[in-house]
Amino acid sequence: MFLAEKLYEYSRNVSESGVKKETEELIRMRIIDSIFVSFGAAKEKPVSISRAALLPSSGRYNSRTYFFGEAASVDVATFINGTMTRYLDYSDTYLSKEALHPSDNIPPILCCADAMGFSEKDAIASIAVSYQVACAFADSFSIRAKGWDHVTYISISSAAGLASLMGLEKEGFVNAISLSLNNSISMRQTRAGELSMWKGCTAADAARNGVFASLLASEGMTGPSPIFEGEMGFFAQVSGSISPSLSQDRIGKTMIKNYPVEYHAMSAVDAALYLRTMVNCEEIISIHVETFSVAYNIIVKGQEKLKPKTKETADHSMPYIIAYVLKYGVPNLKSYSKKYLSDKKITSLIKKMSFKVSEKYNRMYPGLLPVKITIKTKTGNYEKEVLFPKGHYKDQYTWEDLRKKGISITGSEEITDLLIREGKGIGKHKVSHLVEVISNVKA
């Protein structure tokens, strides 16, 4: 059996057997987390550019943009809402051979379910399929190691979730996967060097491709097959032979972000916050950081990480994030503004930093995210080791934790509590009800 057919068999099993209650609750929380994060990004420039470039829009199936309520064809709505979800780099994370953000699958499923009249229960099941598929591929192969970006897996997982939502039979399902993946293998240049706006948009584009492919497949469009095993397919061109396992439930190992930073810097934030209470930045002589290879390669290596010029680079710079936290405290949505990117106090602290990859920490990853920061000052030495942050699957978010995050983003208890109440009740209505609530919340 070809891999795309195995994905179909898995999705059918989910449709027939349903989603466990505890998994449903995790998905509800991740839907609302993605909406909070989207709220924070609604007025960001890439979202404004996307709305200006792509609206007005209409198609056979139309959904609505978050917070603005503008009608748009489902692929366009997916791109705009997906950009909101992803741009702040504040959405949930899965760490394995590949790191990715499974909630990138939520906008396409909500948009299509809204447009096509599906229930919230249907959406939960489809999101479960997408999460599982994305994480299974992340467990199987590090696509970034070959120079490709992890959002390639979102093109697969979003198509799988959407084909499941639409109830496509095997042939249609396989075609949706093939059509979505064939032209959506994304280059890792997105996250190399000085990062651009596209870093926060590329997953939305992968999900948009999933929508486009699934709509075509639903009407009988055929795609290149077998897309994985073929002579010029994914295995031959990208990954080599892999066999993603869909047997284990991975959603419980996805992690909600406690701070708006690249996830591999999360423990470093906690360590720096602890040390901030003990040291005077003016007296710091040196800052030494021990981390693991994946973190070093993604958010330490490269001169641009030492003096980031863009928001997109700064939230992917461990040196910048540690310096900001030591000087100003908990990172927030304004921590990457021009004011701070040109802050000489931050730059001065970065110049005092050194980094070392620890083999001990390499062995702990990805089960843990260890970091140790040692600060030498004029009056003494201080150090802090953190093995995993709040929101990690070993210290899961609660609804109350999510409420605090929501308030920190929206600045409104009223809006936060409205969305929390709605989130706890997901499963009782059609998705159009949820999208209507989101559309009526004004960013």
Instruction: State residue 443's pLDDT score.
Output: 83
- What is each CA distance from 139 to 20, 98, 229, 243, 250, in whole angstroms? 22, 7, 19, 10, 10
Instruction: State residue 83's pLDDT score.
Output: 98
Would you give the distance in Å from CA 258 to the centre of its chain?
13
Instruction: State residue 248's pLDDT score.
Output: 82
The percentage of residues in the chain with a pLDDT greater than 70, rounded to a whole number, is 100
Work out the pLDDT band at 247, boundaries 50, 70, 90.
confident
Count of H-run helices and E-run strands, the chain:
20, 6
Instruction: State residue 203's pLDDT score.
Output: 98
Instruction: State residue 249's pLDDT score.
Output: 86
Mean pLDDT of 103-109: 98
Q: Considering the chain, what is the average pLDDT of its residues?
A: 96
Instruction: State residue 340's pLDDT score.
Output: 97
Instruction: State residue 400's pLDDT score.
Output: 98
Check for a shared fold between 3-258+409-440 and 263-386. Answer: no
Work out the pLDDT band at 441, boundaries 50, 70, 90.
very high
Mean pLDDT of 158-166: 98
Q: With CA atoms as reference, report the closest residue to 210 among 137, 154, 159, 157.
A: 159
Q: Which of the following CATH numbers is that of domain 263-386: 3.30.1330.120, 2.160.10.10, 3.40.50.300, 3.20.20.140?
A: 3.30.1330.120
SS3 356: strand
Reduce the secondary structure of 261-276 to three states and give it as a string. Answer: CCHHHHHHHHHHHHHH
DSSP classification of residue 148: B
Go through 231-243 and write b for each residue having 16 or more CB atoms within 10 A of its CB, e for each that does not.
eebbbeebbeebe
Mean pLDDT of 134-159: 97
pLDDT tens digits for range 415-426: 999 999 999 999
The percentage of residues in the chain with a pLDDT greater than 90, rounded to a whole number, is 97
Mean pLDDT of 194-205: 95
Rounded Cα–Cα distance for residues 385 and 257 (Å): 19
Instruction: State residue 392's pLDDT score.
Output: 95
CATH number of 3-258+409-440: 1.10.4100.10
pLDDT tens digits for range 282-324: 999 999 999 999 999 999 999 999 999 999 999 999 999 999 9
For the cut 90, the answer to whether the pLDDT of residue 82 exceeds it is yes
Per the listing, tokens 């720096």 go with 272
Mean pLDDT of 26-33: 98
Mean pLDDT of 141-152: 96
Compute the C-alpha angle 330/336/341, nearest 5°.
115
Instruction: State residue 282's pLDDT score.
Output: 93
Q: 283 versus 247: which is more confidently predicted?
A: 283
What are the extents of the domains in the chain? 3-258+409-440, 263-386
Instruction: Answer yes or no: are the C-beta atoms of 36 and 405 closer than 8 Å.
Output: yes
pLDDT tens digits for range 169-178: 999 999 999 9
Rounded Cα–Cα distance for residues 360 and 340 (Å): 34
Mean pLDDT of 363-375: 97
Work out the pLDDT band at 368, boundaries 50, 70, 90.
very high
DSSP classification of residue 411: S
Instruction: State residue 213's pLDDT score.
Output: 98
